[in-house]
Chains A and B, each alone.
Chain A
Amino acid sequence: MANFVALLIAGLATGALYALAAVGFTLLWQTSQTINFAQGEFVMLPAFFMLAAMHAGLPFWAAILVGMALSMAILGFAFKRLLVDPMLQHGVLPLAIATMALSTFLKESVKTFYSAEASPFPSIAPDRDIHLLGVSVSWQNIAVLGVAIITVVSLQFLLNRTRTGRQMQAAAQNPTVARILGVPVERMILYTFLINGALVALTSLLISPIYLAKFSNGDTLGLAAFIAAIVGGFNQIRGAIVGGLLLGIVDNLSAAYVSTQYRGAVPLCLLVVIILFKPNGLLGRAEERTV
């Protein structure tokens, strides 16, 4: 039983990380029809910004800020301006394919210009465990869960309780009408990209101490983000969170109780089943088709 609880907590922690990555992914899709296949690499990259900053002599807390700023500037602003804006006129599919190329580009660049080896990454939580009710939980897991919860709550607050947030929602649901109503739609879309930049930097900060900073981290994280977003439901942030947590738990439990050789298959089968029977996800609503 203790085993099961330990697995559950570990699964929740991993799931929280998937959820953060999935939230950014969902935001981009909702507001600007951007299917970002490079989301995994977006989560991989900020850790290297931070590592580079530390190599240049900055203390850890300053490196975090630098990494976050760079992430918002490059993966948020530059990504939107240089790649998304010119391509949206061509349609959703070419942009999706461009992000696939972008993911390989980022991966290879890190490998070539930084290192092919994994680098250790400092943790914001002490590297110790506490023993709760006979179960061993690491401070890192607790920190991850804590930060994830705070982030999600803040994001929900931003979107639902502030004027800007509601404008962002309006821009996402119906840009034409929003424009008529005076909502600065372009700026709102920019905000979602910046938020994604911040989210991926945060996820990177939390995940790299465990995964170690390596150029190939994006592969598993990206896939997890997509599956979490689709399983949870594309239309709501809550969907991404539920999807992420569910995925983390399912992944861990299947590794322990199902054949380990096929552990990677369980989330994929979950994805296919959801697409077959509940294509809008567990929490999603049916989307309208634009004519």
Chain B
Amino acid sequence: MRNLLASAGVALMAGAFSASTFAQSGETINLADVAELSGSGATVGTNWKNGIDLAVDEINAKGGILGAKIIVTHADTQSNAGVAKAQAQKALDGEPYALLGPGYSGSVKVCAPLAAEAGIVEIMGGEAAELTKAGNKFLFRTSFGQQTSMPKIAKYIAEDMKAKTAAVVWVNNDFGKGGHDTILKEFAARDVKVVADDSTEAGQADFAADALKVKASNPDVVFIYLNEEESARILKELRKADVKAPLVGETTLIGQKVIELAGDAANGALAHVGLTTDAPIPAIKAFRDKFVARYNYVPDHNGIKGYLSVYMIKAATEKMGKLDSKNLAAALHGLTITPDKEPGILMEVTIDENGDLDRQSFLGEVVNGKQVIKEVLPKLRN
């Protein structure tokens, strides 16, 4: 009797997994998104998803891509690489036009080979340097890899700020570790001595000990690479511990959310930002207003990444002049997308042979509770 239950279970599974292919008719483009909608990455994945939905609805309202409406499906990886792999496999079995996500670099690592095997483009949010070094011809970024962003900020710290010593505070997960390792390498190459190497936990709330450790090491500059909430907390603690050295970070440190949570303690913080809703660019401001109007909160850079992923596909498809998922990757490689032809791309971007991006970026500072762009750092190659 109980064995019959087991048999019934298997039969049910068989029913659940009968093949369901998306019809790739001339009328619809099917995008499959695989993102962290629950678990530790819920904030990242939810922002990413919301950005995608905003872009899809915008494009469909204007008639779609080459007349074809976009249909997007979202699957939850639960911030777990094993689940991500399953969901990506499921999505790929349905032969979508392209795969979007995930955001977590670990999950990207398991999904990317599947996409390559299926010959389908994957546009994802991961930032770890090694993702685009594996020779995968179908993988594309939506933001700078750490190998692009860290040299920029290290250069600024060493040459513009003339710092000789630095304290590094970083979050001990694959996001933070990748950044930590890269910045340490860059500092070493520029003769900046690291006097404190402080790792912290994701979700940590108490930074008193870390602030005191930083203070005791007396650095010229403090480099902070944490997620948004933790950035706010450590800014407050550093202020309380009366640390005089300038606080410098990468994108997350001076985000809108951090400023809101840290209040006065955020003033004076600097960061290199690749994507920010505070950039002095009208297109980005318009995007931010649209996002806030629809979702009622200000997006983080993951929201921008999701939005851009769809527009990258649009631009490449329009360049080809037809809906051709097989040649989408080739169309994306080497493509430069400009906002005058495609306003949805927000800023001019060039995609290189490895799927990395070349784009303007910014040096921002928090002045009187607002993010102000001090300097615009140009593309590496024009």
* Closest chain B CB from A145 CB (angstroms): 14
* CB nearest neighbor in A for B36: A116
Asked if B172 lies at the interface with its beta carbon under 8 angstroms from chain A, I say yes
Tell me if B297 and A117 are in contact (CB < 8 A).
Answer: yes
Chain A contacts for B240, CB-based, 8 A = 129, 136, 138
Tell me if B206 and A251 are in contact (CB < 8 A).
Answer: yes
A203-219: contact bitstring with B at CB < 8 Å (1 yes, 0 no)?
00000001110101101
Asked if A97 lies at the interface with its beta carbon under 8 angstroms from chain B, I say no
* Closest chain A CB from B195 CB (angstroms): 15
Asked if A290 lies at the interface with its beta carbon under 8 angstroms from chain B, I say no
Asked if A120 lies at the interface with its beta carbon under 8 angstroms from chain B, I say yes
Chain B contacts for A138, CB-based, 8 A = 240
* CB nearest neighbor in B for A111: B42
Interchain CA distance A264-B241 in the complex, whole Å: 23
B10-59 residues with Cβ-Cβ distance < 8 A to A are 38, 40, 42-43, 46
* CB nearest neighbor in B for A129: B240
Partner-contacting stretch, out of B108-116, B184-192, B207-215: B207-215
> Which residue of A14, A118, A136, A261 is within 8 Å of B229 (Cβ)?
A118
Asked if B200 lies at the interface with its beta carbon under 8 angstroms from chain A, I say yes
Tell me if B203 and A220 are in contact (CB < 8 A).
Answer: yes
> Which residue of A14, A116, A120, A136 is within 8 Å of B46 (Cβ)?
A116
Asked if B348 lies at the interface with its beta carbon under 8 angstroms from chain A, I say no
A230-274 residues with Cβ-Cβ distance < 8 A to B are 251-253, 255-256, 260-261, 263-264
Tell me if B201 and A263 are in contact (CB < 8 A).
Answer: yes
Asked if A84 lies at the interface with its beta carbon under 8 angstroms from chain B, I say no
Asked if B205 lies at the interface with its beta carbon under 8 angstroms from chain A, I say yes
B318-348: contact bitstring with A at CB < 8 Å (1 yes, 0 no)?
0000000000000000000000000000000
Tell me if A256 and B263 are in contact (CB < 8 A).
Answer: no
Tell me if B261 and A118 are in contact (CB < 8 A).
Answer: yes
Tell me if B242 and A255 are in contact (CB < 8 A).
Answer: no
Chain A at the B interface: mostly helix, strand, loop or mixed? helix
* CB nearest neighbor in B for A120: B261
Tell me if A260 and B206 are in contact (CB < 8 A).
Answer: no
Asked if B260 lies at the interface with its beta carbon under 8 angstroms from chain A, I say yes
* CB nearest neighbor in B for A131: B242
The residue in A129, A219, A253 that gathers the most chain B C-beta atoms within 10 A of its C-beta is A129
Partner-contacting stretch, out of A2-10, A23-31, A74-82, A176-184: A2-10
Interchain CA distance A236-B261 in the complex, whole Å: 38
Tell me if B206 and A116 are in contact (CB < 8 A).
Answer: no
Interchain CA distance A136-B240 in the complex, whole Å: 7
A32-47: contact bitstring with B at CB < 8 Å (1 yes, 0 no)?
0000000000000000
Tell me if B203 and A117 are in contact (CB < 8 A).
Answer: no
Tell me if B200 and A136 are in contact (CB < 8 A).
Answer: no
A94-129: contact bitstring with B at CB < 8 Å (1 yes, 0 no)?
000000000000001001000111101000000101
* Closest chain B CB from A172 CB (angstroms): 32
Tell me if A3 and B216 are in contact (CB < 8 A).
Answer: yes
Tell me if B206 and A216 are in contact (CB < 8 A).
Answer: no
Tell me if B206 and A252 are in contact (CB < 8 A).
Answer: yes
Chain A contacts for B263, CB-based, 8 A = 127
Tell me if B297 and A10 are in contact (CB < 8 A).
Answer: no
Chain A contacts for B40, CB-based, 8 A = 216
Known: A136-B240, A256-B213. A7 touches B208 (CB 8 A): yes
Tell me if B242 and A214 are in contact (CB < 8 A).
Answer: no
* Closest chain A CB from B262 CB (angstroms): 10
The residue in A108, A117, A136 that gathers the most chain B C-beta atoms within 10 A of its C-beta is A117
Tell me if A117 and B212 are in contact (CB < 8 A).
Answer: no
* CB nearest neighbor in A for B196: A260
Interchain CA distance A14-B242 in the complex, whole Å: 21
Chain A contacts for B228, CB-based, 8 A = 118
* Closest chain A CB from B271 CB (angstroms): 19
B197-231: contact bitstring with A at CB < 8 Å (1 yes, 0 no)?
01111010110111011011000000000001100
B151-209 residues with Cβ-Cβ distance < 8 A to A are 172, 198-201, 203, 205-206, 208-209
* CB nearest neighbor in B for A10: B208
Known: A211-B205, A264-B201. A3 touches B261 (CB 8 A): no
* Closest chain B CB from A214 CB (angstroms): 7
Tell me if B208 and A252 are in contact (CB < 8 A).
Answer: yes
Tell me if B242 and A210 are in contact (CB < 8 A).
Answer: no
Tell me if B206 and A10 are in contact (CB < 8 A).
Answer: yes
Tell me if A117 and B257 are in contact (CB < 8 A).
Answer: yes
Chain B contacts for A3, CB-based, 8 A = 212, 215-216
Chain B contacts for A117, CB-based, 8 A = 43, 257, 297
Tell me if B200 and A260 are in contact (CB < 8 A).
Answer: yes
* Closest chain A CB from B302 CB (angstroms): 11
Interchain CA distance A214-B46 in the complex, whole Å: 15
The residue in B208, B213, B261 that gathers the most chain A C-beta atoms within 10 A of its C-beta is B208
Chain B contacts for A118, CB-based, 8 A = 228-229, 257, 261
Interchain CA distance A219-B380 in the complex, whole Å: 43
Chain A contacts for B206, CB-based, 8 A = 10, 14, 210, 251-252, 255
Interchain CA distance A118-B202 in the complex, whole Å: 13
> Which residue of B172, B208, B212, B229 is within 8 Å of A214 (Cβ)?
B229
> Which residue of B203, B209, B213 is within 8 Å of A216 (Cβ)?
B203
Chain B contacts for A253, CB-based, 8 A = 209
Tell me if B212 and A6 are in contact (CB < 8 A).
Answer: yes
Chain B contacts for A7, CB-based, 8 A = 208-209, 212
List, sorted by A's number, 22 A–B pairs whose CB atoms are closer than 8 Å: A3-B215, A10-B206, A10-B208, A10-B209, A108-B38, A117-B297, A120-B261, A129-B240, A138-B240, A210-B205, A210-B206, A210-B233, A212-B261, A217-B205, A219-B203, A220-B203, A252-B208, A255-B209, A255-B210, A256-B213, A260-B198, A263-B201
Ranked nearest first, the 8 interchain pairs of A and B with the lowest CB-CB distance are A255-B209, A10-B208, A256-B209, A116-B42, A211-B205, A118-B229, A3-B212, A260-B199
Further pairs besides A220-B203, A264-B201: 11, Cβ < 8 Å:
A3-B212, A117-B297, A118-B228, A120-B260, A136-B241, A212-B205, A214-B229, A251-B206, A252-B208, A255-B209, A255-B210
